[in-house]
Structure 1
Amino acid sequence: MTETTDPVRPIRFDAGQQPDGQGTTTTKQLYADPTGHFQAGFWSSEPSRSEVTYAIDEICFVLEGTVRLTDAGGHAEIFRSGDSFVVPAGFKGTWENLEPVRKFYAIHKPATG
């Protein structure tokens, strides 16, 4: 008996992909596992600042732009094109796009019990 699996699919950055207008973001999910606990995709946004509380684990790879993450204790980290980072579930702080940002992301959503 032969098992079938999904084929490997390339994910390519589309430099023409732009946010959806006035300061909004574009999110394009490119993959989700059958359980919905793991997802990956592309995200872009214009400069903005948001207070965030993460209920998921997310790994980000910045394709373009600059992001500043500041935790609730005031510690800030800056990530630029070519950088990758993990935002763990439970993170509380501020996410700032200091210029237009484009990234690939992969998230893990813990099972709710």
Structure 2
Amino acid sequence: MSNLITILRDTHPLPVVDACKWEKLAGDPHTVNLNCYTSADGEKIMGTWICTPGKWYVEYTKWEYCDFQEGYCVLTPEGKDPIHLKAGDKFIIEPGFKGTWEVVETVRKYFVFA
């Protein structure tokens, strides 16, 4: 039986560098993932994402919760106005989102993919 509660202070995430699979469109962005939790089936992931400036084309197939701790970025859904996000913002991205994700100032965010 797996643990039904994971206490994050007890986790020891290993940094995963430049694991982003999205298509780079501009800049030379670099990422670090600190995954604190991954479900047994790999479908749910929680951790911290740090990224330097750059731009990607993204297509979401999973739901994501984001809590920005630092930085500034612009998400632009296809055919819609840009959404400006900064430290202190919390938001959800639904599966089916397509567009661009541009990191303007280095971002640090907590995330949950489900």
1:57 is displaced (CA, Å) by 0.8
CA RMSD of aligned residues (A): 2.3
Describe the superposition over 1:20-48 as per-residue Cα deviations: whole angstroms up to 9, x where unpaired: 7x631101111012222211011011111
Give the corresponding residue for 1:34.
Answer: 40
* 2:88 alignment partner, SS class: coil
- Structure 1, unaligned runs of 5 or more: 12-16, 109-113
Show structure 2 runs of 5+ residues with no match.
19-27
Report runs of 4+ in structure 1 exceeding 6 Å deviation.
none
1:103 aligns with 2:90: no
Tell me whether 1:10 sits opposite 2:16 in the alignment.
Answer: no
Q: 1:23 to 1:7 in 2, by over 3 A?
A: closer
Q: How many residues align?
A: 99
User: Structure 1 residue 73 and structure 2 residue 82: aligned?
Assistant: no
Q: Which has the larger radius of gyration?
A: 1
Deviation at 1:7, TM superposition (A): 4.6
What TM-score, normalized to structure 1? 0.77
Q: Normalized against structure 2, the TM-score is what?
A: 0.76
